[in-house]
Amino acid sequence: MATVLTLAGDGIGPEIMTQAINVLTAVNDKFDLGLTLKSGLIGGAAIDAKGSPLPDDTLAQAKAADAVLLGAVGGPKWDAIERSLRPERGLLKIRSELGLFANLRVAKLYPQLANASSLKAEVIKGLDLLIVRELTGGIYFGEPRGIRTLENGEQQGFNTMVYKTSEIERIGKVAFELAQTRAKASKNPAKVCSVDKANVLEVTELWKQTMIELQKDHYSDVELSHMYVDNAAMQLLRAPKQFDVMVTGNLFGDILSDEAAMLTGSIGMLPSASLDESGKGMYEPCHGSAPDIAGQDKANPLATILSVAMMLRYTFKQEDAALAIEQAVSDVLDDGLRTLDILDKNESGLTQVGCKQMGEAVLAKLAS
């Protein structure tokens, strides 16, 4: 029997996780998936309870589980503690310990939310792009790193951006194969845009060369293009539909995926998956812990609910169950229900709802 470990975390994490668990339980029963749910602590909640952002028992649970569903971590409460003990360190460690090297973020525009985007409707209508981010290497994990005092007494901060050929090939393989899969479904040509800064950074010069060789040797049916990260950031706003799959390193992917999220109107709508080489994954919303609205029933649970759909699709290969969740979300939006972050006050026929009511509406659609 397969096991899902739920880690609610901090801020709005417990609220959105409650709604996601309710949806997962419903589809588990409806489709007879045979999943067992367990829970654990991570982030600030774990610091408060056990003195560590990733306790040993949580890590053991995560390694034993078939998939992990995460809420959010962090908040101002823990900003003043030692850097190595902050909530975000727990998130980085669990990704590293589980070997979750491939982060997938889909920026897909629900047509019902076209007016929620800050961009013109004609620019984003039909948007459906995938950003594949390398997650366990690059400057976030490179050594040496730290803050040191120079001979003149001045302090200096330093980090190291480093990638091996094997790490680049591994994430490239994921991007190219996902482009092939998406092309079959959409009947469009398979395209990958590799994002780098090869004109300045040697590490991304190696990245670009490796992507070129990988495409030539194994994925000649996929069109490969290259773009500097500064231009990619601009093009995502100017003409986002030119992209299908984008692949890039940890730092650039962190920034570009959040930018792409806002193309859809709200980061509260977007799920993400982080996968290992066997397809085991950790699934989480793209947004953060939003401590300013925690406990107020204002959070949007849809990104977490859609993360459940991604989990069922990529780890458990339960496409029908995944599609049922995605359709339920679309149906709820058709009914005009909106949390505050996706509410267009100039559009008639909309009803503002809280986190709990939105989750209950999705459940009702699944049951109908």
- Of 123, 136, 108, 219, the C-alpha closest to 172 is 219
- Does the annotation count 258 as an active-site position? yes
Tokens (6 digits) for 186: 């959409």
Length of the chain measured in residues: 368
Long-range pairs, 107-111, Cβ under 8 A, ≥24: 107/131, 107/240, 107/257, 107/260, 107/261, 107/263, 107/264, 107/270, 108/264, 108/270, 109/263, 109/264, 109/265, 110/264, 110/269, 110/329, 110/330, 110/333
Rounded Cα distance between 247 and 228, Å, is 12
Please identify which of the residues 48, 221, 230, 320 carries the catalytic annotation: 230
Partners of 102 in the beta sheet? Answer: 134, 275
Whether 276 sits among the annotated catalytic residues: the reply is no
| Cα distance between the two ends of the chain | 27
191, 196, 197, 280: which one is catalytic? Answer: 197
140 is annotated as an active-site residue? yes
What is the phi-psi region of residue 145: left when phi exceeds 0, alpha when psi lies from -120 to 50, beta otherwise? beta
Phi, psi of 285 (to 5 degrees): -70, 155
Q: Which one is catalytic: 66, 258, 276, 331?
A: 258
Annotated catalytic, 230? Answer: yes
Reply yes or no on whether 221 is catalytic: no
Of 140, 163, 219, 283, which one is the catalytic site residue?
A: 140
Running DSSP on this structure, what letter comes out for residue 348? T
Contact call for residues 362 and 328 (beta carbons, < 8 A): yes
Catalytic residue among 128, 254, 276, 297: 254
Report the catalytic residues. 140, 197, 230, 254, 258
